Amino acid sequence: MRIIPAIDLIDGKCVRLTKGDYSTQKTYSENPLEVAKSFEGAGIEYLHLVDLDGAKSKHIVNHKVLEQIATKTNLKIDFGGGLKSDEDLKIAFESGAQQITGGSIAVNQPEKFESWIKTYGSERIILGADCKNEKIAINGWHEESDLEVTSFIQSFEEKNIKYVICTDISKDGMLQGPAFDLYAEILQTTPSIKLIASGGISNMDDFSRLKEIGCEGVILGKAIYENRISLKELESLLH
């Protein structure tokens, strides 16, 4: 199971929000590159980079930070937040993203999202299935759609999606454990997808439970920044 630390960006700084609420912003570092290097130093290979400014303004904003981390580390970066156009995608990939995540676009313009899967291949496009009360949330989590999370993922499994990041928004930043039951349900319904769990990771036991359920990867953020889980502990998981 892949361990994927997250860096969320606002104004080029490394921040965390609670439940996606911008008013809860807490800045952990002015230098995302240093944070990324510390992950790499612990033997971590992957990074989940989220452009929160992009999510708000509905187009890519922090691509310079992406480029900096991509050129100065060997981390394999998946990048998301506000990717709405073919041009946004082009910029993200040219700036060094290995994969991109699309959430709102998959809800609002499913044909466009499907065309990205066809153009770039299912190894490079991740479906962002973030939900609240098992309903898909969009536009930086400010709106709830009518789409039920498992059927939403199923509809894209039929269109060849391989990777899915699912965040239960009620768990995000709460440090009270992930949505184990939801992930088990998703993997029962769509066993062929590579499910990446996100939100609520609070201790080392969460990893073994998610691995047991069958998650392919785990994204964690606040647990690292609040020293609930040390990079040393993460390092021990990698060996």
By annotation, the residues acting in catalysis are 8, 130
47 with 79: CB under 8 angstroms? no
φ, ψ for residue 157, nearest 5 deg = -60, -40
CA–CA distance, 178 with 169 (Å, rounded to integer): 10
Task: Identify the helix (H) or strand (E) that includes residue 39.
Answer: helix 32-41
Indicate the SS3 state at residue 214.
coil
Residues contacting 151, CB < 8 A, separation 6+: none
Sheet strand arrangement including 135-138: 131-132, 135-138, 143-148
Q: Which amino acid is at 65?
A: V
Which tokens is 173 given? Answer: 């930043």
**Rounded CA separation 81/61 (Å):** 9
